[in-house]
Amino acid sequence: MILWLNPVTGASGDMLLGALLGLGAPVADVRAAVASTGLAGWRLDVEQVQVGGIAATKAVVEVEDTSTERHAAELLDRVRRARPEPVAELAARAIAAIADVEGALHDKDPAEVHLHEIGGLDTVVDTVGVAAALHALGIIEVRSAPLALGSGTVRCSHGVLPAPAPATMTLLRGAAVVGTDLPGETVTPTGAALLQAMGTRFTPPPAMTVRGTAYGAGTRRFPQRPNVLAATLGVPLTADPAEPMVVLECNVDDVPGELLGHVVTRALQAGAADAWTTPATMKKSRPAAVLHVLCRPEQEPALAELVLSETGSLGLRRHAVDRHALPRRTTTVEVDGHRIRIKHGPWHAKPEHDDVVAAAEALGRPVRTVAAQALAAAGEEP
């Protein structure tokens, strides 16, 4: 999935989070990722609001510890505990970017940097929340129109500084920006750091099939201009969507089923796109199997060695194929307290079978009933 942003009034961590939640990122997944950091005394609520006549989503973050000053190392340690791992990595990149900039500005080791206005625990919720929402939506590419920068001054712990503040301007190195008559800070350090951590490219809208648009509400209100961050989710358009792949095959008539199952599992763990067996009849009418492994060309040498060493086959075949893979994403729902993952494609959604079975056994219900309840909770048709 591609995310394209149109920050006509700037960007902040809560605006990014609100926009992603508005696009359909499950709030339960976002809360679970924040909870996995071990953070205590926080709340994340989602509100639908009207901003200048536009229906927008507002992410409301509350923390009991309202101190805004902490060492960057403390926030880094916290976000690195987030799960799943890609969420922790992106959130940590954002916090590390802020620490690096503050360290350079104050001539300090980033690990020793003391953050002021952005040292609050709400920064943990914002960074981990945005990372978790991106992960849940399956977004692998982020593009943006130029960022609207405010003018005038901003008051902070170091006094009154020109807007944008020095840390924000440093974080925006390489970003496309445009000046506006909006007063004060329109792009926050957290917003700028997240855009950097996401690898945002500043371009016109990319070629894509639009799947949805949402608006993340900001806190400030401007006359004659809604303070919202527009976010559009899309599937990339390509001239040839086929991906070149390789299929490795070998016939075996002396390998037990347990070992064949082991090879299939090993191949998938090693990065194969798919692996399977089909029944066959070989010489002397012996029952046999054909082992197939689908992989990318660069994976062929390692997977060929795996197949040959595990099966003992004296050779294998390979042939090139083209794979057309549709975009997909995974969300999570709850059925009477049991979490069930839902795999979504463009035309169909399916609950994760293992999750459904576990919930059905615990609830004493038929598997088909729990699967239907999970799809209903996800807003999908059975």
Mind listing the pLDDT tens digit for each residue in 199-214?
899 999 988 889 999 9
**Phi and psi, residue 256, nearest 5°:** -65, 155
Same domain, 349 and 313: no
Residue 22 has what pLDDT?
95
- What CATH number is associated with residue 254? 3.30.70.1380
Same domain, 149 and 165: yes
Same domain, 157 and 13: yes
Residue reference for tokens 């909870």: 35
Q: Does a structural domain hold residue 228?
A: yes
Same domain, 154 and 227: yes
Q: Does a structural domain hold residue 91?
A: yes
Same domain, 336 and 302: no
Of the three residues 186, 205, 236, the one that is the final residue of a domain is 236
Same domain, 52 and 72: yes
Q: Does a structural domain hold residue 36?
A: yes
Same domain, 60 and 193: yes
- 149-173 residue pLDDT tens: 987 766 665 556 676 777 788 888 8
Same domain, 275 and 184: no
Q: Does a structural domain hold residue 167?
A: yes
Q: Does a structural domain hold residue 382?
A: no
Cα 308 off chain centre by: 37
Q: Does a structural domain hold residue 99?
A: yes
Q: Does a structural domain hold residue 69?
A: yes
- For the ranges 67-71, 114-118, 127-131, the lowest mean pLDDT is seen at 114-118
% of the chain exceeding 70 in pLDDT? 91
In whole angstroms, what is the distance from residue 322 CA to residue 245 CA? 6
Same domain, 162 and 80: yes
- For the ranges 161-170, 187-196, 221-230, 359-368, the lowest mean pLDDT is seen at 161-170
Give residue 276's domain range: 243-323
Q: Does a structural domain hold residue 173?
A: yes
Residue 116 has what pLDDT?
54
Mean pLDDT of 177-190: 89
The answer to whether 88 and 135 are in contact (CB under 8 A) is: no
Of the three residues 204, 236, 268, the one that is the final residue of a domain is 236
Is residue 346 scored above 90 in pLDDT? no
Report CA dihedral (230, 223, 165, 188) to the nearest 10 degrees.
Answer: -30
**Selected residue with higher pLDDT from 313 and 119:** 313
- 300-338 residue pLDDT tens: 999 999 999 999 999 999 999 998 877 777 788 899 999
Is residue 270 scored above 80 in pLDDT? yes
Same domain, 49 and 132: yes
Mean pLDDT of 131-144: 92
Is residue 119 scored above 60 in pLDDT? no
Of the three residues 300, 323, 346, the one that is the final residue of a domain is 323
Same domain, 176 and 272: no
Same domain, 195 and 120: yes
**Total domain count for the chain?**
3
- 22-71 residue pLDDT tens: 999 999 999 999 999 999 999 999 999 999 889 999 999 998 877 766 77
Is residue 239 scored above 90 in pLDDT? no
